[in-house]
Amino acid sequence: MAKDNGPSQVDIERASELREQVAYHLHRYHVLDSPEIADTEFDVLFDELVALEQAHPTLRTATSPTQRVGAPPLSQFEKVQHVRPMLSLDKATTRDELEQWMRRCRNRLGDAEITFSCEPKIDGVAVALVFEHGELTLAATRGDGKEGENILANVRTIGAIPLTLETSTPGAIKVPSMVEVRGEIYMPVKRFEAFNAQALARGDKPMVNPRNGAAGSLRQLDSKITANRPLTMYCYSLGGVKGEWQPKTQDEVLRVFAGWGLRTNPALEVVDNLDDCLGYIDRLEARRDTLDYEIDGVVIKVNDLRQQQRLGSVTRKPRWAIAYKFAAQEATSVVEDVDFQVGRTGAITPVARLQPTFVGGVTVTNATLHNMDEIARMDLHVGDRVMIRRAGDVIPQIAGVISGQRPADARRIDLPKGCPSCGSSILRQGEEVVVRCSATRDFCPAQRKEGLKHFVSKLALDVDGLGDKLIDQLVDGGLVANSADLFALTHQQLAALERMGAKSADKLLAALEAAKQTTLPRFIYALGIREVGEATAAALAHHFGDIEPLYHADAEALEAVSDVGPIVAQSIVEFFTQSDQRKLVLTLRQAGVHWPSIDVVSMEDLPLGGQTWVLTGTLDALSRTAAKQKLIELGAKVAGSVSAKTTVLVAGPGAGGKLEKAQSLGIDILTEAEFIALLTQYTN
């Protein structure tokens, strides 16, 4: 093989020319969506550049278009600080809320004339890109708003994102020495669908939806995987700048971005009043299903950047911007039947069985109907075609009946004449919309079973190995009537049950014995008092210190407890007024159920008092249940979904939609390791 003496001047000039041509055509294809040459012609240019760089590695620059194929896998993402915080947005869903926001802006700015920029709110992943002297040097996720993860290796693989900024139009602003560009990385709908079709053809698992697909693609430690994902980006704001350019308005920022080769959404409009803003919202929502990207609303900003500075921000949210949120994603389905389920408190809940329907990334087969009043309000019949909505993109709901499509054999939905489980009469108490079985747990098998399942659940006494089917066997066989009976079970009784045997009986008896050692908050929660969840049980335990003061307390004393209002207080009083409940507590204590003493203290005074935490993803060092219990013991409330009220999100591997929402809201996010360290700090 001949020795390579380095590239000739001709090679150097040709490589430079090819880089420029390839970059130009990539920009035409990915950013302008207006290619000038066929794919085969582009491939000839690209392949020639690859061949030159392979023959002469010194010609290969960091910003060469050939470097978008991905870098060696990372072990983890490094943390980076944002030039300035990436704030989340307050939201509006009605004309009145939007009008109030505009009025607040005008009041703070006095008599100044205000215009507003309106842009589609892309449902993707927010990122910040830093260009130094025109070269892309950093790409970061939102993270906690102040600090994100460096995903530069992954972002470099996205064709729509230039590796260098250039002044591509006459008279364009010169690229400054440093500029931070912010925007949304997403998957176009058509490319997402094509990717999933190819994945299914290969026998691979498809992505759930474009948003999750984009988030998962950007969190790949191997950027070669990201390079094969159909990602693109719209740039929507300026994070920071060093240089002579000092833009005056939001629309100027986007015009300059476009002049540098960055991709911006052409749907931007500037308006000067509420009606024009609402007109833009209506037009965009009408086009929502025709767009090749998913949106969940409109972002409205005060257009003048100096006015934005004057308005400032509050609690991680700018006063100068708001997100107008569209209605939750919807689809249609057919009600095939309605079942009535009996809970541990006797509440009877109608549940619609639906024709399987794909809504917002999941297949929905049933939806709660809440109560009979809701059914009457909608005039719902079995057989109706209905609109399904995933409220908050989580809980399936029937939004309404589609009029004019009721079949001739549609059936009216009537409340059962008696409890579906025991046949007892059904009652509605006071002004409650919920109807309940009139029988107690002693008589109603469904209540008894659900009460026992609650008693042995993870957050209650946590009896390992005592599952739903076994509880059904014990109740149906007449071996257990209440929770105290569990501790009277014998080896002979258990071993005789179907699919049990001697070893399984021994394990269950050992688990029951271990469960006798519990905590007062767990015991109170295990009793299954209506309206008393884990957080309220913990508050009651810390306030009263033991079970006897609790069941002697009247409503006034109970309402002195944090997190306890009149309804909860009345529910507790009614529970302990029943002699059989006090007798059950005594029997459980006599059976050996016990707990260590607990300090009498307000929950607000505990280390995490007043905070709301959410857990998501996989937790390796600590189970989800154990983590939740420790948080409650420290005074926190643990919620199942992320909202503006969330204080902290703990995100383990595999975190998805909750992590994205927390990032969009600017909520503090901890890894599992950081979470464990925090727990250790408080428990040592």
Task: Output 372-378 pairs: Cβ under 8 A, ≥24 positions apart.
Answer: 372/415, 372/433, 372/435, 373/433, 375/350, 375/413
Residue 287 CA to residue 290 CA, distance in Å, equals: 5
Cα 614 to Cα 100, 145, 383, 444, 609, distances in angstroms: 31, 17, 38, 35, 15
Cα 68 to Cα 33, 47, 49, 61, 188, distances in angstroms: 19, 14, 13, 12, 19
The DSSP call for residue 28 is: I
Instruction: Quote the distance between the C-alpha of residue 503 and its chain's center.
Output: 42
Residues 182 and 126 sit within 8 Å (Cβ to Cβ): yes
Task: Please compute, for residue 539, the number of CA atoms within 13 A of its CA located in the half-sphere on the CB side.
Answer: 23
Task: Please compute, for residue 675, the number of CA atoms within 13 A of its CA located in the half-sphere on the CB side.
Answer: 27
Q: What torsion, rounded to 10 degrees, do the Cα atoms 428, 434, 435, 436 define?
A: -100
Beta pairing class for 147-149 and 79-81: antiparallel
425 contact partners, CB below 8 Å, separation of at least 6 = 418, 419, 438
Residues 39 and 139 sit within 8 Å (Cβ to Cβ): no
Residues 111 and 342 sit within 8 Å (Cβ to Cβ): no
Residues 489 and 509 sit within 8 Å (Cβ to Cβ): yes
Annotated catalytic, 121? yes
The DSSP call for residue 290 is: G
Q: Give which of 251, 331, 325 is closest to 295, Cα–Cα.
A: 325
Q: Which helix (H) or strand (E) holds 411?
A: strand 411-412
Residue at 644: amino acid letter: A
Identify each DSSP E strand in 518-616 by its residue range. 612-616
Which one of 79, 91, 121, 503 is the catalytic residue? Answer: 121
Residue 157 CA to residue 358 CA, distance in Å, equals: 31
Residue 649 CA to residue 80 CA, distance in Å, equals: 19
Residue 316 CA to residue 145 CA, distance in Å, equals: 8
Q: How many CB atoms lie within 10 A of CB 367?
A: 23
Using CB atoms within 10 Å of the CB of residue 275, give its burial: 0 to 12 exposed, 13 to 18 middle, 19+ buried: exposed
Q: Give which of 284, 238, 290 is closest to 264, Cα–Cα.
A: 238
The DSSP call for residue 553 is: -
DSSP string, 327-374: PPPEEEEEEEEEEEEE-TT-EEEEEEEEEEEEETTEEEEEEE--SHHH
Residue 549 CA to residue 541 CA, distance in Å, equals: 10
DSSP string, 394-418: TEEEEEEE-TT---TT-EE----SS
CA angle, residues 567, 570, 571, in degrees to nearest 5: 85
What are 299's strand-pairing partners?
A: 119, 323
Residues 230 and 207 sit within 8 Å (Cβ to Cβ): no
Terminal alpha carbon distance of the chain: 68
3-state helix, strand, coil in the chain (%, to 5): 40, 20, 40
Residues with a catalytic annotation lie at: 121
